[in-house]
Chains A and B, each alone.
Chain A
């Protein structure tokens, strides 16, 4: 007993010291105490290891605290230039997402409508034999893999190598197609090369931030905190340009609301104003830009097997000015609801030669039936004013997933892409075949299905086998009812690798339990071209296996030992080194693994031991081959200013369906909530979805806060509680609902129309009826 009391006393004493140290540190940041006196304090028992956060595309550096083989705590990594020691509430609780009670720990195989536990070996045997059988009976393109921007770089790399290089099908897609394909479309058409030219450091230099349909306060809170820092310390100005009033609007210096889809018109009006006032940077435009126009009336991809081919032709500046005459602020005011004064104000910020302007956007512009166009148009503004590729001048498309850039965009896990280049290009295929150790004839030269079309092909029966890893399409696909029914059809075989049961595992024939995040080794790439490594810190539960290793196991069962010779202990390193060969050039070289193990991530192009912060600017980017700016994605080094008109969305409110429906996220939940809802503190904060209504509409419809509301679109019905005047406030005639809640699946209502160029669906606009339930 005495011993126990002694222990307790010494523990309490340590706690008392700890409290005092914590308080002192809070009062006097940077204060130090002699190490021997503080080292045995309770928190000191944890072992801290660095990793990128598991959730969004910001890519915060975190330190994960490990105790007795379990990950128990998270703190921000002060060495990370991304977040400088700060996280958001999801990051701080990220470790709890690994310990949900209903974690999948054993493979499950559906037999006579019931799931039966089996061993990993048997489950992988079954997957391999089904894959083989389906190919033999129905051809190479009857099998497919669907991953996500949560795939680590090695996951996506082996998936692409296996399906494209070995199984000879381009049926490789990822949910990033639903998320940032529009951004890719914009980068490729304007610059000929993907991913932002700038970096988060732009925040520390910019005088003005224009947020295009981007509720950063909730979706990218850590970056938004950096913006607010600049607002209060440096008097930087934040303009929130959005369709609904949010925390971001309230924190911004100015909130400007526009009607859905009219961002296209407003961006053109800003260009009109810039040119009318002669605010353009004439030297920059003539030296570094070309002008082009493309097809118009390009459709919405609503019908199966929809095809689109761009036809571009050069124009001159006078033709462009003539085109913009339709977009005077006064004319655009009528379409957009944005006052001519506000349009001129925004133009004056972009046009002021003494102001550095950074534009941020994410799903508002990218989930858009004209996603490529609106991306082009915002680049137009930055190109006309020459405000690009210099510190503080940055058009910046953010991402929502931890490795949307690193895996989907850089490894190229999309039907048309290869780790380097596109499948259509014979040289790119040759390069891939050589590194992959497969005959070049293995890689088919034609893309097959983009995401929406891939699930339509599953519905039609053109695809019979689908392997879904790290994503939840039965919650996230637009018009999801069609695709849930498709997956359940006779003769379809669905494999799902996940960590928790979800509506997607519900439609699986085989469920493979995956190891997540720091239960395995891996790499993510964030929005600013930063590649980050994490080691395995804890053991995965039960038979959980990393997605990389699941793919390797199945590939070997199909006879591809030679292409997948990796050792279990070193496979991540071997795969990364193999992958790096694709980017072995000044435009995209990636840091070696030893560097990534030491540093809180490194930005590519990583040349001569140095990361590149601003691409296309000869001052910072060693890949530039000429003075000033070199947009080397295009053969002549010139970026393209695109003439793109305003075109209406495919579905607008009518008398029968009089409201706009907008969908999105909330700060507390990430993606479909399959992880964050299993974190009690987050679930208690936002336990379910809701529909935000304007109080004026609510009053007219007799709906009070918390009342059940029935939403109806042409595609489905959904009941959910009303939130009136909560964290978001849609204008009259619009409603908003978060999509994370599988019990209130808003994607039953959304429309599967997409941008014909990038194939990115639009989740932000469709028409619904709103009634009190």
Chain B
């Protein structure tokens, strides 16, 4: 896929030159571009057989987060504590797949381009605490919020680092409650829009009319 700005090919400008061309421009992609990131696997996802015993549940997933939206900790022993990215984590987490020793499927990362994994994802060496905490946490939003009985559910979470829908919502590692029934429909945001009231509550549209 070529997304680079095709203007790279020429430096001459036909119009009143407006602003100097800057090289940076060519490396910039809209931050939403991830929506279609895994679309090439859509048909495979559709054909994947269900393996119900190995399924994850949403609560399994939430257990790995300190609050909704926090980076999950690494719930398994780490094979090599000195390497990151392609060498280790991405071997399993770029595309997922069955891991025999855990009898489970590796979840797919929605942001494989961020390779310094351990910057955000930490291991877990102990269950004991240094001191108790009163931190209340942040509850995950309800799933399946629909505005009519047949309406597509909205996206209740933020998209930053999570814009690649199929990474978390399709495949055998996707928590079963949020696994999409129609992975072949890759333009997810045709039907599912963000209604993320936890960041900025948006009041309903009202118009000042003095009739």
Contact = CB atoms under 8 A, between A and B. Distances in A.
Are A and B close enough to touch in the complex, i.e. CB under 8 Å? yes
Interface of A: 26-27, 42-43, 46, 65, 72-75, 86-89, 92-93, 95-96, 101-102, 108, 115, 217, 221-222, 224-225, 228-229, 232-233, 245-247, 249-259, 262, 333-342, 500-502, 505-506, 511, 652-655, 658-659, 667-668, 673, 677-687, 694-697, 700, 725-729, 731-733, 742
Given A73-B150, A342-B6, A679-B147, 11 more contacts: A65-B150, A92-B150, A254-B2, A259-B7, A337-B14, A339-B8, A653-B15, A681-B193, A684-B195, A697-B19, A726-B31
B42 interface: yes
B147 A251 contact: no
Contacts of A229: 184
Contacts of A232: 39-40, 42-43, 184, 186
Contacts of A89: 152, 189-193
12 contacts: A73-B149, A89-B191, A249-B3, A259-B7, A337-B14, A340-B9, A667-B189, A667-B193, A681-B151, A681-B154, A683-B202, A695-B28
Contacts of A686: 193
A696 B22 contact: yes
Contact of B9 (A42, A335, A338, A511): A338
Nearest to B20: A732
A65 B39 contact: no
Contact of A726 (B19, B32, B39): B32
A687 B202 contact: yes
B2 A255 contact: yes
Contacts of B206: 101-102
Given A87-B191, A334-B12, A728 B30 contact: yes
Interface in B17-33: 18-19, 21-22, 24-25, 28-33
B5 interface: yes
B135 interface: no
Interface string B48-87: 0010000000000000000000000000000000000000
B193 A668 contact: yes
Given A253-B1, A335-B14, A681-B154, A65 B25 contact: no
A336 B187 CA distance: 30
Contact of B7 (A247, A257, A340): A257
A742 B187 CA distance: 28
B16 A221 contact: no
B148 A259 contact: no
Most central of B21, B191, B205 by chain A CB within 10 Å: B205
Given A221-B190, A249-B3, A250-B32, A732 B25 contact: yes
Interface residues of B, number: 62
B204 interface: yes
B10 A88 contact: no
B211 A108 contact: yes
Given A88-B190, A89-B152, A217-B187, A732 B22 contact: yes
B148 A732 contact: no
A256 B4 CA distance: 8
B21 A732 contact: yes
A98 B22 CA distance: 48
Given A89-B193, A334-B10, A683 B5 contact: no
Contacts of A252: 1
B204 to A, nearest CB: 5
Given A96-B148, A683-B202, A729 B190 contact: no
Interface string B34-50: 01100110110000001
